[in-house]
Structure 1
Amino acid sequence: MRRRWTIGTLLLGLAVAALAVFNLFIAPGGTPPSGLQPSAVQQSGGPQGTATSAPAAAQSSSADKVTGVPNVSGLPTIRESQLPAEGRRILALIRQGGPYPYTRDGVTFGNFERVLPRKASGYYKEYTVPTPGESDRGARRIVAGQAGEKYYTPDHYESFKFIAEGK
């Protein structure tokens, strides 16, 4: 039996292809096709999605002094000194290779939210930043990339800030 392609079938195929392109390149956290620059207005990443007017180039040009890793993510920056005391302690443990307070520390972070730059599976590791008064691990984490970049999330991956270490 020979299959006939109808206009509806072709339109459905085009719609699926358009959705795939949207998910890969346009959806939050997607990588734009080469030659396209991110918008000068960057999302703060907070739950309200408030925007900042700082250009991505200005945020990404500063290298952190401890690791020399530039902020190429376009995410807002937080100085190491601005982290909660528990976050600074976890950064020190990450630098020395542990031991970590939780068995889940050092496991692969999947970046399913696609807030951080897209990388190969296994590129990011996550570490718990203890929250005083919480009976469990709480929502705060530091996520470290293989190139030495580190990100802080106070709200369990809803938003991230690039950590400028040594500042």
Structure 2
Amino acid sequence: MSWTLGRFLRGFAIALLWLALGTGAWARGPLPGTVDARDLPPEARQVLAQIRQGGPFRHARDGVTFYNRERLLPVQARGYYTEYTVPTPGARNRGARRIVAGKGDTGNPATSGEYWYTADHYASFRRIQE
């Protein structure tokens, strides 16, 4: 096998791996990492429980549409995601922490099992694993 062909095949194999993982140039954005629900801050675990129960929520903005403008979550139709405030101890405002819920196969954030956590106001996300 020639040096050029070997180099091509190596590059092709890497490109296929990236495509299979959904993180290559063909993906619309990076896929979020994960976090175990037990490893979330206690305030986030409480908000997650409230989402699953359908409320009540502390902030008037909880449950509003999250537009995914950063495109860090999988691209979905407008209205698919909703956001919820995770209280930050000592903060005088809503703080930077949120849980974003998708509608999933059920069409309902309370039962979808599709949740992401951000501690930096949408700069990064980790998918919550239960």
The counterpart of 2:54, out of the listed 82, 97, 111, is 97
Aligned 1:33-72 pairs, distance under 5 A: 39=18, 56=21
The counterpart of 1:161, out of the listed 121, 126, 129, is 126
Do the aligned partners of 1:56 and 1:74 also contact (CA within 8 Å) in 2?
Answer: no
The counterpart of 1:137, out of the listed 63, 86, 94, is 94
Which AA in structure 2 matches 1:153?
T
TM-score, normalising length: structure 1: 0.57
- RMSD of aligned Cα (Å): 2.1
Counterpart secondary structure, 2:92: coil
Gaps of 5+ in 1: 1-35, 41-54, 58-72
Between the two proteins, what is the percent identity of the paired residues?
A: 54
Radius of gyration: which is bigger?
1
Distance 2:46 2:17 in 1: 34
What is the deviation of 1:117?
Answer: 0.4
Distance 1:38 1:115 in 2: 20
After superposition, the C-alpha distances for 1:48-105 in whole angstroms (9 at most, x for unaligned) are xxxxxxx948xxxxxxxxxxxxxxx832110000000000000000000000000000
CA change 1:94–1:125 in 2 (3 A) is same
Gaps of 5+ in 2: 1-14, 23-29, 105-111
Q: Is residue 115 of structure 1 aligned with residue 69 of structure 2?
A: no
What is the deviation of 1:132?
Answer: 0.2
Which AA in structure 2 matches 1:81?
R
1:152 paired residue number: 117
What is the deviation of 1:135?
Answer: 0.1
Runs (4+) of structure 1 exceeding 6 A deviation are none
**Equivalent residues, number:** 101
What is the deviation of 1:38?
Answer: 7.1
TM-score, normalising length: structure 2: 0.72
